[in-house]
Amino acid sequence: MIPAAFEYFAPKNLDEALRLVERHGDEAKLLAGGHSLLPLMKLRLSAPRYVIDIGRIRALHGVREEDGRLVIGALTTHHDVESSELVRQRCLLLAEAAAEIGDVQVRNRGTVGGSLAHADPAADYPAAMLALEAEIVATSSGGSRAIPAGEFFVDLLTTQLRPDEILTEVRVPVAGRRSGGAYRKLHQPASGFALVGVAARVRLGEGEKIESVAIGMTGVAAHAYRAATAEQALAGKKPGAKLLGEAAGRVTEGVDTLGDMHGSAGYRRAVATVYARRALEAAIARAGGKTA
């Protein structure tokens, strides 16, 4: 359980790091918290020739509020997100998702950027970022581009990021009044990853009707996705038990559901319905000013 030998770089700023990824591209791996990469390297499932440790780039750490958005640096740890007063106040869903990741030690090291770039099919942040309609910022020496979360996750462990790009920050729109969000997850008991994770965000409008809704799903398919048919079933309607039940029943519609030793595809579909209903109920309650 010792990684294969590699050449190690620890750039102190983003420019230096960008030059290194440009030079070593495909043969290099970025190292952030190391909680996805190092386990793979120890199993020799990954044996990069170069490791570029971006952990010392101060500018990529921390959360701030800017123009109605939370801007979260790629190297912000799960613990920092979970315990940030700013995140708790502005975007409870996100703090809730961070708090559900792995265990204390994993949250102390793992980072937002690493989780999104890795795109594990059972990771928690992808569902949250989809429901929040966040933008993921990728930077190369040629400049930056903002990728909508809805386009970012392409396939199993595959995203829109190019080898010469570094994920530098995530921008999360801060919801206005009458909005609420929640994350609900069934843990796979051994690893802590999501068997099913559902992020729901709801805005209530006139007559308590659902003005807008977004549902992000993880653990269910090869990559996280928006449950579009369920969203359509809810939009413009007044929420009640029957409607929520019907909509929650559609969150895996048209989706090629994963089945593995931890749970069959049928089991995941059944559980997805239950957790979607719970996430929606909590999001609606919070949008209405109640605690949930």
Ligand X SMILES: Cc1cc2nc3c(=O)[nH]c(=O)nc-3n(C[C@H](O)[C@H](O)[C@H](O)COP(=O)(O)OP(=O)(O)OC[C@H]3O[C@@H](n4cnc5c(N)ncnc54)[C@H](O)[C@@H]3O)c2cc1C
Query: Could you say whether residue 13 binds other proteins (CB under 8 A)?
Result: no
Token duo for residue 175: 């919801």
Query: Could you say whether residue 40 binds other proteins (CB under 8 A)?
Result: no
Q: Identify the helix (H) or strand (E) that includes residue 184.
A: strand 179-187
Residue 228 phi/psi, 5° resolution? Answer: -65, -40
Residue 242 phi/psi, 5° resolution? Answer: -65, -45
Q: Which of 243, 233, 231, 224 is nearest to 202 (CA)?
A: 231
Q: Which one among 17, 18, 20, 31 touches ligand X, defined by CB under 6 A? A: 31
Give the amino acid at 30: L
Query: Could you say whether residue 3 binds ligand X (CB under 6 A)?
Result: no
Cα–Cα distance for residue pair 35/167, rounded to 1 Å: 17
Q: Which one among 86, 106, 243, 265 touches other proteins, defined by CB under 8 A? A: 106
Chain residues 163-202 in contact with ligand X, contact rule CB under 6 A:
166-167, 191-193
Site track 70-89 with other proteins (rule: CB under 8 A), x = hit: ---------x----------
* Residue 183 and residue 96 in contact, taking contact as beta carbons nearer than 8 Å: yes
Cα–Cα distance for residue pair 198/16, rounded to 1 Å: 38
114 binds, among ligand X, other proteins, none (CB under 5 to 8 A by kind): ligand X
DSSP 58: G
Query: Could you say whether residue 261 binds other proteins (CB under 8 A)?
Result: no
Q: Which one among 17, 51, 94, 282 touches other proteins, defined by CB under 8 A? A: 51
Query: Could you say whether residue 11 binds ligand X (CB under 6 A)?
Result: no
Q: Which one among 41, 57, 71, 74 touches ligand X, defined by CB under 6 A? A: 74
Contact residues toward ligand X (CB under 6 A) are: 29-37, 39, 74, 101-102, 106, 110-111, 113-115, 117-118, 120, 123-125, 161, 166-167, 191-193
